[in-house]
Amino acid sequence: MRFHSPQKLKTIAELIGAEFVGPEDFEVLGTNEIHMVKQGEIVFVNHPKYYDKALNSEATIILIDKKVECPEGKALLVSDDPFRDFNKINTHFTRIYNFTEELHDAEIGEGTRIHSSAVIGNNVKIGKNSLIFPNVVIGDRSVIGDNVIIQSGTVLGGDAFYYRKLNGNFDRLISVGNVVIENNVEIGNNCTIDRGVTDSTIIGEGSVLDNQIQIGHDTVIGKKCLIASQVGIAGCCVIGDEVTLWGQVGIASGNKIEAGSVILGKTGVNRDLKKGTYIGMFAEDFKGYLKKEVKLRNLK
């Protein structure tokens, strides 16, 4: 999430009541989570296991629960609860409406048709000649391109599934990102595409999604991908261009699939995949899988 205007390190520290390490006028451009963070942004870390990853990431400002040596050219915000204070920063700069207020500020392109039962959030942009079917819900800040079809019951921009355990309960990381649907995308019935925690969940130009598909926060789907029914993609995945995912494929968080790959039905993806065709619970190479099956049958 980028702030509307650059902030100073001291200003952010005062907002959350944190100690800071670095020049008080150190420039802060926004926030982001570790998978997506860029220079000038804040990332949070609250466990020693991930200190090095956060400190050596692209992040320029690290919101951390212990005072440590600060890398050159970076700054620290030292907090007793970085998770809480990350939420505090994000909701200070991005107002959360959750359909409790209608600002009627959507931008709708020429030729776009929206059924009267669809629900459109605030600060939504929809391009030209798109078609929004009955009972579609489009959350705040969503951006939809030209010639997009979204069929009935689909929800764009729901909250990310991102929690921590706190005092025996689940505490949510509040989602202030959005969903971006590029031009010429078709989305089937009853799909759910979560908005990014602090960035964008993106469906690339020309991609086609079947019915009942779940796509997690901050995931990026490439151009001209084909995704069949009941596929589940966790958060922060990167799916290359022209990838085919057949029915009931499941992809774990943070994995990448190289462009042009084909993932056959019911395959589980728990690691990054190079271009190829895969099948099975742990995404085996398809040709290797067939050879193994032949050998097993010949053992009889």
Marked catalytic residue, from 47, 92, 104, 217? 217
3-state secondary structure of 9: helix
The two three-digit tokens of residue 182, written as one number: 């590029």
The CA-CA-CA angle for residues 40, 46, 50, to 5°, reads: 75
263 within 8 A of 278, measured Cβ to Cβ: yes
State the residue for tokens 């989305």.
187
State the residue for tokens 């009627």.
104
Active-site residue 4, yes or no?
no
Alpha-carbon distance of 155 to 110, in angstroms, equals 23
Residue 229, class by beta-carbon neighbours within 10 Å (0-12 exposed, 13-18 middle, 19+ buried)?
middle
> Taken in order 182, 175, 164, 9, is the CA torsion positive or negative?
positive
Task: Give the pairing of strands 2-8 and 155-158.
Answer: unpaired
Residues involved in catalysis: 217
